[in-house]
Amino acid sequence: MSITLSEAESRRVVAGYGVPVSPFVTGTSTDAVVAALVADDTVTYPVVAKLCGRAIAHKTERGLVRLHIADEAMLRSACNDLLAAAQPSDGDVEVLVSTMVDGNRELIAGLADDPQFGLTVMVGIGGILAEAIRDVAFRLVPIAEADAAEMIDDLATQRLLGEFRGEPEVDRQALIDALVALANVGQQETGVRSVDLNPLIIVDGKPVAVDALLEIEDAAGGEAKQ
């Protein structure tokens, strides 16, 4: 058995290893969220607000994501709405507010447990067509910088990594660092089953995860993976 941490919990874990995530704050009440945002000068408007909890799997489908929040008044209103939408079955919830980042290119990165080789790290071309295109590269955790560089080289869609629609080329070193950090999450964190950084948006050439989900073994569940 495994459990999936909330987006906020997942972001804290992966960011602790140096995985780049969009700047964010959290709070369990509207006042707490606003206070956290005021105190944190990395999170800047416009922001996105999401209701997070371990039991909330499909935030978008349930309307628990609010985009393009331009000021504090809109933020207060969004927080009030989101907290009011929480249901008893959602368990503990909190509101996550992060800077809305902008970029035309979406990658996807993550960790997955392979039945033959154990924990693997992946980078690929993201977006809604990701599963149709399947332009991905895997390695076994852990990886060295040379491995991460070769993963990036292995992607077929190299043109997407160069200058693209007025945006600079992807900073390969930043992407290498992100992949090594991601693999380190799998190597050093206890009981990691999977991580999704989806999407990993290219912002001014640098990768930034705007969503993160970390699945870990449920130690209390008792049933260990084989």
Residues forming contacts to other proteins in the complex (CB under 8 A) are 108-118, 120, 122, 124, 130-131, 134, 136-140, 143-144, 146-147, 149-151, 153-154, 193-196, 198, 213, 215
The least CB distance from residue 50 to other proteins, in Å, is: 17
CA distance 52 to 65: 9
What b/e sequence results for 58-88 when a residue is b if at least 16 CB atoms lie within 10 Å of its CB, and e otherwise?
ebeeeebbbeebeeeebbeebbeebbeebee
> Where on the phi/psi map is residue 50: left (φ > 0), alpha (ψ -120 to 50), or beta?
beta
Which residues, 6+ apart, have CB-to-CB distance to 58 below 8 Å? Answer: none
Nearer to other proteins, 95 or 200 (CB): 200
Q: Which is nearer to other proteins, 47 or 151 (CB)?
A: 151
Give min distance, CB of 38 to other proteins, in A: 34
153 phi, psi to nearest 5 deg: -65, -30
CB of 10 to other proteins, least distance (A): 12
Closer to other proteins by Cβ: residue 113 or 189: 113
Whose Cβ is closer to other proteins: residue 8's or residue 197's?
197
Residue closer to other proteins by CB (options 94, 215) is 215
Nearest approach, Cβ of residue 33 and other proteins (Å): 28
3-state SS assignment for residue 130? helix
Q: Which residues contact 117 (CB under 8 A, 6 or more apart)?
A: 140
Q: Closest approach of Cβ 146 to other proteins, in Å?
A: 4
Q: How far apart are CA 11 and CA 111, in angstroms?
A: 14
